[in-house]
Chain A
Amino acid sequence: MFNHLLSLLIWLPIAGAVPVLLAGSSRPNTARWLALLMAVLTFAVSLFLIPQYNADTGGMQLAESHLWIAALNVHYGLAVDGISVALILLTTFVGILVIVGAWEVIQDKPHQYMAAMLVLEGLMIGVFCATDALLFYVFFEAMLIPMFILIGIWGGPRRVYATLKFFIYTFLGSIFMLIGLIYLYLKAGTFDLHTLTTLPLTLTEQSWLFFAFLIAFAVKVPMVPVHTWLPDAHVEAPTGGSVVLAAVMLKIGGYGFLRFNLPIVPDASSHFAWLIILLSLIAVVYIGYVALVQEDMKKLVAYSSVAHMGFVTLGIFIGFMLVREQGNSDAARLGMQGAMVQMISHGFVSGAMFSCIGVMYDRMHTRLIKDYGGVINVMPWFGFFYVLFAMANCGLPGTSGFVGEFMVILASFSANPWIALFAAFTLIIGAAYTLWLVKRVLWGEITNPHVAEMKDINGRETLVLGAFAALVLIIGIWPEPLVHLMGSSVDQLVQLLAIHKV
C-alpha cells in the first residue's frame, strides 16, 4: 500500500512551485494554469485522506517516520488524526480558491505570487501533519517566509509595516517555544510529541513550558492582548493573503494548543485555564465592540476573526474546568467538538468574507465602509452571497457559524452560566457589527457615483463565492460527517484532559 500520502501532500505543492516560478513573468498564464493544476492536484490527493483515514478508531494514522537527524534523534515524523484531516482538507480547498481568486487580480509578477501561495500551502499542511516537535517548529516558522513576501509585495500602502510586524510578532512568540522545546528535548532525549506527552514534569516546569507555548500560539490565534498584528496584516494583505491568513493560519494557533499545551503540560493548562477563558471572553466581548466601530471592512472582519477565535480557545480550555472540577466529560467533549467545528467553519466564513471584500476592492479600490452603499442595486448576485456569509458570520442557525458557537456556549453553561452568558454576548454583538456592515454597504441608496458603475460578479468570482457558500451551508445543515470525522480524536483529547502528570 502506498504510505507516503502525507509526504506527497506536503511536497507536491512545494515542488509544484518550482515550475510555476520558472514560467517567469513573461508567461503569466502558464504560471497561473500550472499553479491551478498543482492546487487542484493537491486537493485531489487530500481527498484520499477520507477513505484512508479510519474515523471510527481515531488516533494517529497514516504514520510515516524516518530518522532525519540521527545525532539529535529528530524524526521526519508525520501522522494525522481526525482534526488534522479536517484542517488539511480546509487548507487544500482554500488553496484552490485563493489561486482562482487571484487570477486576474494579481497582474504584477503573478508567477511569484502563485509560487508563494503553493509553498505556503505545503508548509501549512506540514504543520498539521508533523508529529515531531522540531519538524512542527520548522514548518511553523518556515510558513512565515512566503506570507511575509505575499503581504510585502502585493499588499496595500502600509504593507511593509504590516508584514514586518506580522513576521517579528510571530517570530517573537515562537522563539520562546523553541527554548521550551529544547528544554523538553534535553529531558526526554527526543522531540517526538507522543513521547513528550508521557514525560513526567513538575508543576513549575509545566507552568514555564505552558507560557512558552502559550505565547507562541496566542500570537498565532491571535488572543488578546497580542492580537494587534492581525488587523494590520489583514488590512494590508492582498485578498488571497487575507483569506489564507484567516482561514488557515489562525487555526494553526488553535491546533498548537491541542498538540502542545493540552497533552504535554496538562496540569499547568488546567491551572491556568481560567486565564485562557478570561482572555477568550475578553476577545469575544471586547473585540466584538472594537469591531463595531471599524470604518475599514477588512479591519472589521479581522476583529471579528479575533472574536470568533475566542470561541475556539474557550471551547478547548473550558474542558479542564468541566473534567477536572465537575467530572463532566460529556460537556467537555461538546465544548471541544464545538471548538473544532468553529475552527473549520470560521475558515470558510472568514475566507468567504475576505473574498467578498476582495471582489468589492477590485472594483472600487477602497475598503472604507463609507465609500459604499446601495451595492445590492448594481450587484444583486454578489449581494446574495454577501448576506449569506454575513449571516454565517453572526451565527445564524442553518449556517456553519451557528454549530460551533452553540456547542461551545452549551458546554460553557455546564461549567459556569456566567461564562456562557458572556460568550453568548457574541450573538448580539456579532449580529450588530455584521448586520450594520451589510446595511451600510449593501442596502440604501447609491450615494457614491462609482458604486453605480460596479459590475456584478463574473464567473470566476461566482465560482469562488459559490464554493464557499456551499460548504458554509453543508456544515450548517448537516455537520454530522465533520463531527464524525473528528469525533474519536476529540474523545481522545478529552481523555487527555483528565490525566495528571504530577
Chain B
Amino acid sequence: MPNLNDIIIMRPEFFLVAAACVLLLADAFMKPAERPYLHWLSIGVLAVTIYLVLAFQPAGPVTAFHGMFILDGVSEILKVFSLLCTILVFIYGRPYLNDRKLLVGEFYTLMIFAVIGVMLLVSAGNLIMIYLGLELLTLSSYALVALNRDSKLSSEAAIKYFVLGALSSGMLLYGMSMVYGATGTLDLVQLHAAIPQSAMPHLLVFGLIFMIIGVAFKLGAAPFHMWIPDVYQGAPTPVTAFVGSASKLAAFGMAFRLLATGMSDLSQHWQLMLAALAVLSLAIGNVVAIVQTNIKRLLAYSTISHMGYLLLGLVNAGPEGYSAAMFYAVSYALMSTAAFGVILALSRAGFECEEIDDFKGLNQRAPWMAFLMMLCMFSLAGVPPMFGFFAKLLVLQAAIHAGMMWLAIVGAVFAIIGLYYYLYVVKVMYFDKPVAGTEVRLQTDFTLRVALSLNALVLLALGLYWGPLLAWCNQAFVG
C-alpha cells in the first residue's frame, strides 16, 4: 500500500498532474478573451513545480512506491532543466503559434503531460516505470508534432515519428523482457544485484543490445537517427525546440537509469556499443549537416552529432563520465532552446524563418538577433569561451580518462568538421548582403525578447563561470 510518505516524495509530479487537469478544464470553460491567461497559468504552474523540486530535495537518494520512483540529485537536475526549457518553449512559442492559429489549450496540456513523462522517466527506479514515462513523453510528443494538422509536412513527420517510435519502444520492451527473464526482476536496484548471479549472461547481453537500441533511438544517435531530421523540420518550431531540449534531457536520464543504475556490471559490453554509436553519430551528424540548406534540418543533424559527444561522456561508465554527460545534456538543452528561440523570433505569420538563406545579412537588419544567434553557433561549435566548449572539454576528458584516447581524437576531428557549418551560419548572417525584396520583422513580444536574450547570454556567462553547475552535476553522482 502506498503511504503518505510516498506521495510527499512525489509531490512535484502530483502537483503537475493535478495542475494539468485543472488547466484542461479551465481551457474548456474559458472564454476566448481569457485565453492569454492560460499561457501565464501554465508558465506559473511549471515555475511552481521547479520550486517544489528544488525546495524539497532530500539530502540523499530516496525511493518511493517500493523502489518504483527514485528521487536523487540526477533526477533533480534533469527535472529542473527540462521544466526550465519547457517554460522557455512556452515563451518563445506563443507568438509563433498565435500567428498560425495553433495557440490552443491542447498545446499547453500536451506539453505539460510530456514534461510529466520526462519527470517520471528520469526518476524511474523500475523498468516498467521507464517504459511508462517514456510512453507518456512520446505519445504526447507525437500529438504535438502533428499539432499543425493541415500541414502535410507536419503530418508526415508525426507519422514517421510514431511508426519509428513504436518500433523502438517495441525493441526496448523486448530487451526488457529478456533482462527480466535472465534476472527475474524489474527493479533497477535489484537488477543490479542480480546481474552477477544470473545464470544466463548471454541472454542478458542480448537484452542489453535491444535496450541500447531503444535508448539510441530516443537520443537520436546514429544509426537510429532517421526520424530526427524529418521531425525537426516538420514539427511546428516550438515543438521542435521541446523535442530538442527537454526530450534530450529525458533521454539522457533514461540512458543513465538503465545503463548505470541497472546494468553497470555489464559496462564492458555497453561501453563499446556506445563508443560505436558515438563515432557513427559524430560522423553522420557532422558530415551530413554540411550540405543542409534548412536551418531546422541543420540543427537536427547537429543534434545527432551532439548526442555523439554526450555518449563520449557515458562511455566513461564512472561518476565522472555521467557527470560530464549530464553537463553536456544540460548545456545542449540550453543551446538548442536559444537557437530555436532565434528562429521563432524571426518567424512571423506566413513566413517560416527556416532556410539558412533567410538569415542572410541579418547583422545589418537585426544586429542583436544576429549576435544572439552567433553566440548559439559558437557555443554549439564548442569555441571557448562559450559554454559549449567546456561541455566538450568535460566529455573529451571523460573519454580519455576511460582509456579511450582514440575516441577523444575522433571527437576532436569531428569538432573541426562540425565547426564549418556553424561558421557558415555566422558567415551568412554577418558577411552576406541581405536579399533584396525580403524583410526582417522581429516578433514584438517583450517576454520573448528578454527571455531569449537572457538564454543566449547565459551561454556566455556559464562559459565564464561554469564551476557551480559542474559542482552540482558532480555532487549528484557522488551520493
A-to-B contact residues, CB < 8 Å: 68-72, 112, 134, 137-138, 141-142, 144-145, 148-149, 152-153, 159-160, 163-164, 167-168, 171-172, 175-176, 178-179, 182-183, 185-186
Contact = CB atoms under 8 A, between A and B. Distances in A.
- For the complex of A and B, 8 pairs with smallest distance between CB atoms: A138-B384, A69-B467, A152-B431, A175-B412, A141-B384, A71-B470, A182-B397, A172-B416
A71 B474 contact: yes
Contact of A168 (B385, B409, B412, B423): B423
A349 B93 CA distance: 55
Contacts of A152: 426-427, 430-431
Interface residues of B, number: 33
18 contacts: A68-B465, A70-B471, A112-B367, A134-B393, A138-B384, A142-B383, A142-B384, A142-B385, A145-B378, A152-B430, A163-B427, A164-B420, A164-B424, A171-B383, A175-B413, A182-B396, A183-B400, A183-B405
Interface string B362-402: 01000100000000001000011100010001001100110
A153 B430 contact: yes
Contact of A137 (B384, B397, B413, B424): B384
Contacts of B383: 141-142, 144-145, 171
Looking at chain A's contact residues, the main secondary structure is: helix
Given A138-B384, A152-B426, 8 more contacts: A71-B474, A141-B384, A142-B383, A152-B427, A153-B430, A182-B397, A183-B405, A185-B397
Given A164-B420, A171-B383, A159 B431 contact: yes
Contacts of B471: 70-71
B431 A171 contact: no
B77 to A, nearest CB: 14
Nearest to B475: A71
B389 A141 contact: yes
B416 A164 contact: no
A1 to B, nearest CB: 27
B385 A138 contact: yes
A179 B416 contact: no
Contacts of B413: 175
Interface in B428-445: 430-431
Contact of A179 (B378, B409, B426, B430): B409
B357 to A, nearest CB: 15
B153 interface: no
Contacts of A144: 383
A171 B389 contact: no
B431 A179 contact: no
Contact of A72 (B396, B409, B430, B470): B470
Contact of B419 (A160, A167, A178, A179): A167
Nearest to B465: A68
B427 A160 contact: yes
Contacts of A134: 393
A179 B412 contact: yes
A167 B400 contact: no
Contacts of B415: 171, 175
Contacts of B470: 69, 71-72
B400 A164 contact: no
B169 to A, nearest CB: 37
B420 A179 contact: no
Contacts of B363: 112, 153
A248 B393 CA distance: 27
Contacts of A176: 409, 412
B434 to A, nearest CB: 14
A219 to B, nearest CB: 12
Contacts of B401: 186
